Amino acid sequence: MKKQMTAWQRVTMARDAKRPKALDYIKNIFDDFIELHGDRCYGDDKSFVCGIAYLEKMPVTIIAEQKGKTTKENMQRNFGMPNPEGYRKAVRLMKQAEKFNRPVITFIDTPGAYPGMGAEERGQGEAIARSMFEMSKLKVPIIAVVIGEGSSGGALAICVADKILMLENAIYSILSPEGFASILYKDSSKCQEVADKMKLTSYDLQNFGIIDELIKEPKVGIENDFESVTAKIKTILVKQIQDIQKLTTSEMLEKRYEKYRNM
């Protein structure tokens, strides 16, 4: 039945404050999470939560974009809009994961990279490009999970992966529908109509072959039966990592390269 929902309805759901955020997934799926901070260069971006944890008994590195649920939380998290130091923290910890041979799991939930003056001064474009560059050659398995809003380069920056999972009511797009409408029609209020044309739902992304697994959400609403969803994700993560680990490193990297090469 949810398949008949409009794209805009899904945009609204993906952005819903009540919708679980990255830290909720981390808490439910992993054990002994230890958060690690800072990019060793400029600062600690709180729109990114990164660290190490166990998936079942396997140590993994987690890289997650974190939105808040309340205005206060969102102020602290910059509404999930990373600055360059966020991406640089992510890259630092991905390279650390490579050193210790830990798989990397990323969670994507952002309205986009922050378009501020400081972000430009500190090289937002370079930070995003560098993150994709490093991920495309990282010698450990990478799995990306799109949990909410996956908007523009700010999302793609941590979505170069061996496998991409996406929640049914998450979105993944070139830009926010508001930004898209404002660029193409000079009118951001047209966002509801353009959402459909943008092909940004999980079903669209599955049709394009961009995502590998579409994770269905409970009819009662994801926040009301969250455990069933995280249990499903946990099972998929374990299975996917085991499958990838059967490949040699060069096979894994070649497959990862081909995935994007064919787009």
Partner 1 sequence: MVIDKIKKMSEVNKEIEKNQEASDMLIGKWIKCENCKEILYKEEVHKNLSVCPNCGKHFRISSRRRIAQLVDEGTFEEINADMGLKDPLQFEGYEKKLETLVEKTQIKEAVKTGIGKLNGQEAVLAVMDGNFMMGSMGQIVGEKITLAIEEAILRKLPIILVCVSGGARMQEGIISLMQMAKTTGALMKLNEQGLLSICVLTDPTTGGVTASFASLGDIIIAEPNALIGFAGPRVIEQTVKQKLPEGFQRAEFLLEHGFIDKIVQRKDMKKVLSKLIKFHNQKGSE
| Nearer of residues 48 and 172 to partner 1, judged by Cβ | 172
Residues near 163 by beta carbon (within 8 Å), at least 6 away in sequence: 143, 144, 212, 213, 240, 244
| Nearer of residues 48 and 180 to partner 1, judged by Cβ | 180
| Nearer of residues 219 and 261 to partner 1, judged by Cβ | 261
Considering only residues 134-163, where is the footprint of partner 1 by CB under 8 A? 136-137, 152-153, 156-157, 159-160
CA distance 214 to 156: 18
Residue 35 CB, nearest approach to partner 1 (Å): 26
| Nearer of residues 1 and 117 to partner 1, judged by Cβ | 117
Q: Of the candidates 66, 124, 169, 202, which one interacts with partner 1 according to CB under 8 A? A: 124
| Nearer of residues 22 and 175 to partner 1, judged by Cβ | 175
Strand 213-215 with 104-110, pairing: unpaired
Residue 199 contacts partner 1 per CB under 8 A: yes
Q: Of the candidates 77, 122, 148, 215, which one interacts with partner 1 according to CB under 8 A? A: 122
Q: Are 67 and 79 in contact (CB under 8 A)?
A: yes
**The one segment of 22-30, 162-170, 180-188, 222-230 that binds partner 1 by CB under 8 A:** 180-188
Q: 3-state SS of the chain: helix, strand, coil percent to 5?
A: 50, 20, 30
CA angle 62, 147, 204 (to 5 degrees): 130
116 DSSP 8-state letter:
-
Backbone angles phi, psi at 67, to 5 degrees: -95, 165
CA distance 215 to 20: 14
Strand 48-55 with 31-35, pairing: antiparallel
Residue 90 contacts partner 1 per CB under 8 A: no
Instruction: Give me the sign of the Cα torsion angle 168, 174, 176, 178.
Output: negative
Residue 50 CB, nearest approach to partner 1 (Å): 20
Give the closest residue to 36 by CA, choosing from 96, 99, 98, 103: 96
**The one segment of 41-49, 61-69, 98-106, 111-119 that binds partner 1 by CB under 8 A:** 111-119
CA distance 82 to 43: 12
Residue 75 contacts partner 1 per CB under 8 A: no
**The one segment of 19-27, 39-47, 67-75, 107-115 that binds partner 1 by CB under 8 A:** 107-115
Considering only residues 203-222, where is the footprint of partner 1 by CB under 8 A? 204-205, 208, 210
Can you list the alpha helix ranges (DSSP code H) found in 117-248?
Answer: 117-121, 124-135, 152-156, 177-185, 191-197, 202-208, 226-245
| Nearer of residues 15 and 199 to partner 1, judged by Cβ | 199
Q: Of the candidates 22, 64, 113, 144, which one interacts with partner 1 according to CB under 8 A? A: 113
Which residue ranges make up the site for partner 1 (CB under 8 A)? 113-117, 119-126, 128-130, 132-133, 136-137, 152-153, 156-157, 159-160, 172-175, 179-180, 183-184, 197-200, 204-205, 208, 210, 257, 260-261, 263
